[in-house]
């Protein structure tokens, strides 16, 4: 595949694509493209696309892994990589054909529109993305070069922080209350309400809220909690926890909208390319490429395929006049635009994945049975609900167990009590054990995690004697 | 508001060359991989077939040491996937695998299985790590790692033809000076005024290098192992490490090293490396059968006048009493044809007190080139290996 194009060709096609983008009503940030070769692309992928990022061995690992997969042809490189920033930054592979570049540019505008308009991204401050990551990198490097700290100590804290980075609040659109505000609420709630019939009612018993409890209510932000409640952490350690937490917050919206976002970009690159009146050879190549992208992955889920299928289905259903009349009068396109603003994968699937579509896509639920994985539900009358529920649980942050700090002074000896909100899925023990060790490293005192293992309430404990587990009655 | 024109930043090679920013992180990851390998070295050496392999062979090492741990769900939970149509309840769609290799690729969700992958290292690196593992003094390691050229070359005088790199400038200049002096005596004064005196083709002198085939360049290693008992990981590791060292060492001395694996219980057979280390058959042991097989192979393929023969036998020493005389006799014969014949008794710590031993019996064999060693733990491998070679050197000297 030779490069039979130059920058002017890209600019020409970009101009035509932008016309379509506006015609279709997408609202994008300004767009910047950087042309790179596969070495750079691998590096960008390993560092989440950021031109500047703090060093950690896990990115070296990611790079090696990507490169190995690429070298052995197990996996190609993505045609494109887009990062959520304003202006939006995207990388194009230099060695791709002109057709792929056109397809990619159109796809990028789809992501760009999604980043700008989906509510999950409201908190990401895209104007500052690049400078924030740069500032983080500078601070981490400074700590590593500081002779009183050093690379090893920094790495140890980063290892622990990375392990806990996703143990945080999921719905970022809701503001986090400070501990003082929570205490105020507790006080408020415990105050007896004025009762007009107090002469005939028994006065309610006054229950004094435990305002000294830390945290006043279960806290999901593990890194921030450790940072704010372990006075023995050094300032630089606290700063590292802050950095890792901030970066995780930036990525959570992307985790939460993977299916929607890829489906959306795919839907629009198809609309745009179909309307561009491409010359015949480009058009044929585009059809082949597009079909590769949206190929179903039997035995797995291809988010491009699933996402596109749902977007197409929304458009089809709402464009049917009868359906529209019954469901609030929006056209297919209006419904799509409203959805791209207000949903995340879980709600997207809940609202728009119909039993018919489940059947059509042959989605099924599998469960472990002995040594095998066995199909436990399919998209028929009895099974579709179950398939759908299970899928919803397995997307976005649904794959991250919910674990909250319940007590920083458990047993009155500063033991940290964490509680896993068990929803039928057990934790992987080997991983729980090693992760608890990281919590212990940051808390510096005994840590207890309450969870369920095979139906029994269990305490996993990590302290200076190592790991232990105790089944509760 | 209309969308501003997109900015295209063209590719610049200099950026790409400058931007090897992952180098440091890759190096650190590599160090962690090495550490993980070191921690699992016994498993790797015992599982991989490496003895007869070239040094640049890539060894696949399952990585267990550089996972990134987080809180994740185990595999007791259901998942959702897409079928190819007509999927029925009850169909088996994959294997539940607790080793962490995802049975279903790309399962929805972010399972830790993705973290499990194999890394490739070259045998050379593995040897390096292994020698570290055995805590070799640096000096010795260097000696072992010396690699001789496949063909020895030797300087043999000078010639007037040759290639540019072998031009001997000093001799060439001398030849010119000599010629100049010679001509001055003959020359007329007219010639003398010429200030240029160029090199002549005859001045050019090249070093001549001729290949010299090394004598005694072939060697064969006969690895004989008792497979009667169960070879556990530790025993395999000890035996394999020993054979490996022997092989690597001989490679530095000989151009062509062949390797033969003989496994025996009451009967002996020539086997592949995999079979050699994985076979475990119950039943009795006739050590003589292994030696007889070795003698037979030597007679058929490796004539002692053309081959340097090294034989090494690993056993836990538990032989049938009735076979001991025959074993001793065969060992004597084997010692006659070998440069070096070693017997290594592998008794992981603690077991030697209640098992019989061939070491007693072999005391009665006194040949210069016969050596017995007892290997109880990995730390024993190197000293016993050295002891063995000391014997070899003594004989040569």
Q: pLDDT digit string (tens) for B197-248?
A: 888 888 899 988 876 655 556 788 898 888 766 566 777 777 877 887 777 7
Residue B78 in contact with partner chain A when CB distance is under 8 A? yes
Helices B123-133/B138-145 angle, 10° precision = 150
Residue contact B68–A43, C-beta within 8 A: no
Determine, for residues A298 and B3 on separate chains, whether the beta-carbon distance falls below 8 Å. no
Chain segment A276-293, per-residue pLDDT in tens: 999 999 999 999 999 988
Residues A414-458 have pLDDT tens digits of: 999 999 999 989 999 989 999 999 999 999 999 999 999 989 999
Q: How many whole angstroms separate alpha carbon B144 and alpha carbon B138? A: 10
Contact predicate A422/A452, CB 8 Å: yes
- Which of A298, A301, A328 minimizes the C-alpha distance to A314? A328
Closest-CA distance of chain B to residue A300, Å: 4
Other CB atoms closer than 10 Å to residue A126's CB: what's the count? 19
Q: Which residues on chain A are in Cβ contact (under 8 Å) with B32?
A: 57
Interface test with A, best of B4, B67, B72, B80 (most A CBs within 10 A): B80
Q: Which pLDDT value is given to residue A422?
A: 94
Burial of A333 (0-12, 13-18, 19+ CB in 10 A): middle
Kindly tell me the burial class for residue A441, based on how many C-beta atoms sit within 10 Å of its own C-beta (0-12, 13-18, 19 or more): middle
The Cα–Cα gap between A281 and A464 comes to: 68
Tell me whether B98 touches chain A (CB under 8 Å): no
In percent, the amount of chain B with pLDDT more than 90 equals 7
What value of ipTM does the predicted structure carry?
0.92
Task: Using CA atoms of B139, B142, B144, B149 in order, give the dihedral in degrees to the nearest 10.
Answer: -150
Lowest mean pLDDT segment, chosen from A147-156, A337-346, B214-223: B214-223
- In this complex, the residue of B3, B70, B91 whose CB is nearest that of residue A163 is B70
pLDDT at A53 over 90: yes
In whole angstroms, give the CA distance from residue B226 to residue B357: 13
What single-letter DSSP state applies at residue A73? T
Select the residue of A60, A164, A362 nearest B26 (Cβ to Cβ).
A60
Taking CB atoms and an 8 Å limit, are B82 and A301 in contact across chains?
yes
Q: How far apart are CA A75 and CA A70, in angstroms?
A: 5
| The pLDDT of residue A239 | 97
Using DSSP's 3-state secondary structure scheme, residue A17 falls into: helix
Does B22 sit within 8 Å of A372, measured CB to CB?
no
Tokens coding A435: 């992760």
* Burial classification of residue A432, based on how many CB atoms lie within 10 Å of its CB (0-12 exposed, 13-18 middle, 19 or more buried): buried
Q: Which of A351, A376, A347 is nearest to A257 (CA)?
A: A347
CA–CA separation, B284 and A148 (whole Å): 65
Hey, is A47 helix, strand or coil?
Answer: coil
- Is B45 within 8 Å of B38 (Cβ atoms)? no
Class of residue A319 by CB neighbours under 10 A (exposed 0-12, middle 13-18, buried 19+): middle
Distance of alpha carbon A373 from alpha carbon B75, whole angstroms: 10
pLDDT (average), residues B341-355: 70
Tell me whether residues A300 and B82 touch, CB distance under 8 A: yes
Q: Which of A308-322, B141-155, B209-223 has the lowest mean pLDDT?
A: B141-155
Using H for helix, E for strand and C for coil, what is the string for chain B?
A: CCCCCCEEECCCHHHHHHCCCCHHHHHHHHHHHHHHHHHCHHHHHHHCCCCCCCCCCEEEEECCCCCCCCCCECCCCCEEEECCCCCCCCCEEEECCCCCCCCCCCCCCCCHHHHCCEEEEEHHHHHHHHHHHCCCCHHHHHHHHCCCCCCCEEEEEEECCCCHHHECHHHHHHHHHHHHHHHHHHCCHHHHHCCCCCCCHHHCCEEEEEECCCCCCEEEEEEEEECCCCCCHHHHHHHHHHHHHHHHHHHHHCCEEEEEEEEECCCEEEECHHHHHHCCCCCCCCHHHHHHHHHHHHHHHCCCCCCEEEEEEEECCCCCHHHHHHHHHHHHHHHHHCCEEEEEEECCCCHHHHCCCCHHHHCCCCCCCEEEEEECCHHHHHHHHHHHHHHHHHHHC
Q: Is B110 on the interface with A (CB under 8 A)?
A: yes
Strand partners, A19: none
- Dist. CA B217–CA A109, nearest whole Å: 68
Of B8, B71, B72, the CB nearest to A33: B8
Residue whose C-alpha is closest to residue B342's, from B303, B388, B382, B394: B388
User: Which residues on chain B are in Cβ contact (under 8 Å) with A34?
Assistant: 9
Distance CA A252, CA B257 (A): 58
Nearest to B231 by CA among B270, B269, B279, B265: B279
Q: What share of chain A is helix, strand, coil (3-state, %, to 5)?
A: 55, 15, 30
Q: Lowest mean pLDDT: which of A13-17, A467-471, B31-35, B365-369? A: B365-369
CA A183, A185, A190, A191 torsion: positive or negative? positive
Is the Cβ pair B79, A365 closer than 8 Å?
yes
CA atoms within 13 A on the CB side of A328: 7
- Residue A14 reports pLDDT greater than 70: yes
- The owner of tokens 């000896």 is A413
CA gap B120, B174 in Å, rounded:
55
Report how far residue A78's alpha carbon sits from residue A72's, in angstroms, rounded to the nearest whole number: 15
**Secondary element (H or E) of residue A470:** strand A466-471
* pLDDT tens-digit readout, B232-245: 677 777 787 788 77
Residue B386 has pLDDT above 90, yes or no: no
Q: Which two tokens stand for residue B173?
A: 């200049």
DSSP string of A85-101? -SSEEEEEETTS-HHHH
Say yes or no for a CB contact (<8 Å) between A63 and B26.
yes
Report the pLDDT value the prediction gives residue B163, as an integer from 0 to 100.
86
Tell me what pLDDT residue B112 has.
38
Residues of A in contact with B75 (CB under 8 A): 368, 428
Which residues in chain B have their CB less than 8 angstroms from residue A401's CB? 71-73
pLDDT band at A77 (very low <50, low <70, confident <90, very high): low
Q: Specify the pLDDT at position B281.
A: 67
Query: What is the arithmetic mean of pLDDT over A19-48?
Result: 92
Distance CA B156, CA B211 (A): 9
Residues of A with Cβ-Cβ distance to B4 under 8 angstroms: 30
Mean pLDDT of B70-83: 88
CB contact under 8 A, B81 and A11: no
Give the lowest-confidence range in A16-20, A387-391, B134-138, B275-279. B134-138
Per-residue exposure over B232-253, b if at least 16 CB sit within 10 Å of its own CB, e if not: eeebbbbbbbbbbbbbbbbbee
Distance in Å, alpha carbon of B301 to nearest chain A alpha carbon: 41
Which ranges constitute the DSSP H helices of A212-301? 222-229, 235-256, 258-275, 280-293
Q: Is A420's CB within 8 Å of B71's CB?
A: yes
B108 with A394: Cβ contact below 8 A: yes
Partners of A105 on chain B (C-beta within 8 Å) are 6
Q: What is the mean pLDDT of residues A90-102?
A: 90
More confident residue, A206 or B362: B362
Q: Identify whether A461 is preceded by a cis peptide bond (ω within 30 of 0).
A: no
Contact B78 A300 (CB under 8 A): no
Which is higher by pLDDT, A14 or B68? Answer: A14
Provide the pLDDT for residue A245: 97
B328 phi and psi, to 5 degrees?
A: -65, -40
> Tens of pLDDT along A162-209?
999 999 998 887 888 888 899 888 888 887 777 788 788 777 777 777
pLDDT at B20 over 90: no
Instruction: Determine the average pLDDT of the residues in A63-75.
Output: 75
Q: Do B26 and A39 touch (CB under 8 A)?
A: no
Nearest residue on chain B to A43, judged by CA atoms? B22
Beta-carbon separation of A364 and B95 below 8 A: no
Q: Nearest-CA distance from A105 to chain B in Å?
A: 10
């Amino acid at each position: 595949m030779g490069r039979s194009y130059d920058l002017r060709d890209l600019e020409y096609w970009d101009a035509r694509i932008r016309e379509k983008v506006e015609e279709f009503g997408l609202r994008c940030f300004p767009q910047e493209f950087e042309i790179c070769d596969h070495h750079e692309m691998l590096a960008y992928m390993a560092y989440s696309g950021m031109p500047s990022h703090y060093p950690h061995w896990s990115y070296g690992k990611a790079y090696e892994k990507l490169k190995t997969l690429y070298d052995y042809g197990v996996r190609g490189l993505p045609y494109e990589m887009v990062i959520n920033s304003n202006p939006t930054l995207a990388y194009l592979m230099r060695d791709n054909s002109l057709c792929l570049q056109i397809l990619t540019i159109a796809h990028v505008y789809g992501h760009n529109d999604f980043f700008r308009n989906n509510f999950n991204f409201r908190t990401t401050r895209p104007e500052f993305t690049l400078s924030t990551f740069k500032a983080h990198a500078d601070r981490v490097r400074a700590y590593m070069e500081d002779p009183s700290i050093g690379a090893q100590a920094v790495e140890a804290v980063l290892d622990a922080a990375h392990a806990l980075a996703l143990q945080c609040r999921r719905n970022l659109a809701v503001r986090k209350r400070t501990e003082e505000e929570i205490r105020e609420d507790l006080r408020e709630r415990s105050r007896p309400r004025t009762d007009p019939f107090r002469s005939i009612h028994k006065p309610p018993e006054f229950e004094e809220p435990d305002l000294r409890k830390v945290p006043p209510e279960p806290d999901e932000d593990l890194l921030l909690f450790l940072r704010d409640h372990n006075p023995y952490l050094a300032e630089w350690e606290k700063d590292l926890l802050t950095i890792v937490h901030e970066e995780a917050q930036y990525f959570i919206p992307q985790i939460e909208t993977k299916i929607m976002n890829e489906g959306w970009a795919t839907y629009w690159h198809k609309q745009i390319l179909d309307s561009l009146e491409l010359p015949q050879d480009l058009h044929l190549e585009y059809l082949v490429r597009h079909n590769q992208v949206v190929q179903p992955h039997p035995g797995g889920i291809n988010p491009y395929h699933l996402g596109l299928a749902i977007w197409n289905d929304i458009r089809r259903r709402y464009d049917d006049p009868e359906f529209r009349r019954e469901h609030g009068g929006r056209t297919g396109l209006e419904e799509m635009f409203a959805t791209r603003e207000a949903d995340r994968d879980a709600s997207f699937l809940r609202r728009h994945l119909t039993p018919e579509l489940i059947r059509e896509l042959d989605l099924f639920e599998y469960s472990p049975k002995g040594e095998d994985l066995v199909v436990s539900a399919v998209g028929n009358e009895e099974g579709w609900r179950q398939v759908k529920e299970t899928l919803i649980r397995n997307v976005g942050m649904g794959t991250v167990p919910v674990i909250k700090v319940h007590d920083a002074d458990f047993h009155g000896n500063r033991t940290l009590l964490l509680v896993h909100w068990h929803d039928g899925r057990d934790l992987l023990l080997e991983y729980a054990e090693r992760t608890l060790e990281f919590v212990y490293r940051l808390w510096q005192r005994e840590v207890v995690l309450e969870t369920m293992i095979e139906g029994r309430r269990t305490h996993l404990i990590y302290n200076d004697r190592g790991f232990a587990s105790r089944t509760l009655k | 508001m209309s969308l501003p024109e997109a900015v295209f930043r063209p590719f610049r090679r200099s950026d790409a060359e400058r931007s090897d920013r992952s180098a440091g992180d890759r190096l650190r990851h590599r160090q962690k991989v090495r550490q993980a390998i070191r921690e699992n070295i016994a498993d790797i050496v015992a599982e991989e077939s490496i003895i007869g392999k070239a040094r640049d062979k890539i060894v696949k090492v399952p990585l267990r040491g550089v996972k990134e741990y987080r809180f994740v769900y185990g595999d007791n939970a259901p998942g959702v996937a897409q079928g190819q149509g007509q999927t029925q309840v009850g169909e088996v769609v994959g294997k539940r695998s607790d080793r962490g290799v995802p049975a279903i690729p790309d399962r929805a969700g972010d399972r830790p299985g993705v973290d499990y992958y194999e890394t490739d290292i070259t045998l050379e690196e593995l040897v390096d790590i292994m020698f570290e593992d055995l805590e070799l003094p640096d000096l010795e390691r260097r000696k072992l790692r010396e690699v001789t050229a496949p063909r020895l070359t030797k300087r043999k005088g000078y010639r007037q033809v040759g290639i540019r790199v072998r031009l001997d400038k000093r001799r060439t200049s001398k030849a010119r000076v000599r010629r100049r002096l010679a001509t001055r005596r003959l020359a007329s004064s007219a010639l003398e005024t010429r200030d240029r005196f160029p090199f002549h083709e005859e001045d050019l002198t090249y070093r001549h290098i001729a290949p010299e085939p090394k004598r005694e360049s072939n060697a064969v290693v006969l690895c004989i192992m008792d497979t009667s008992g169960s070879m556990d990981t530790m025993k395999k590791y000890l035996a394999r490490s020993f054979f490996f060292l022997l092989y690597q060492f001989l490679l530095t001395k000989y151009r062509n090293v062949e390797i033969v694996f003989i496994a025996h219980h009451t009967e002996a057979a020539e086997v592949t490396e995999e079979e050699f280390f994985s076979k475990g058959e119950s039943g009795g042991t006739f050590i003589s059968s292994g030696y007889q097989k070795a003698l037979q192979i030597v007679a058929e393929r490796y004539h002692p006048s053309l081959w340097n023969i090294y034989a090494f036998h690993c056993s836990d020493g538990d032989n049938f009493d009735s076979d001991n005389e025959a074993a001793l006799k065969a060992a004597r014969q084997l010692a006659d044809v070998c440069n070096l014949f070693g017997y290594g008794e592998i008794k992981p710590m603690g077991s030697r007190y209640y098992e019989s031993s061939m070491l007693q019996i072999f005391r009665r064999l006194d040949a210069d080139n016969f050596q017995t060693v007892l290997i109880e733990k990995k730390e024993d491998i190197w000293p016993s290996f050295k002891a063995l070679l000391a014997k070899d050197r003594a004989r040569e000297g």
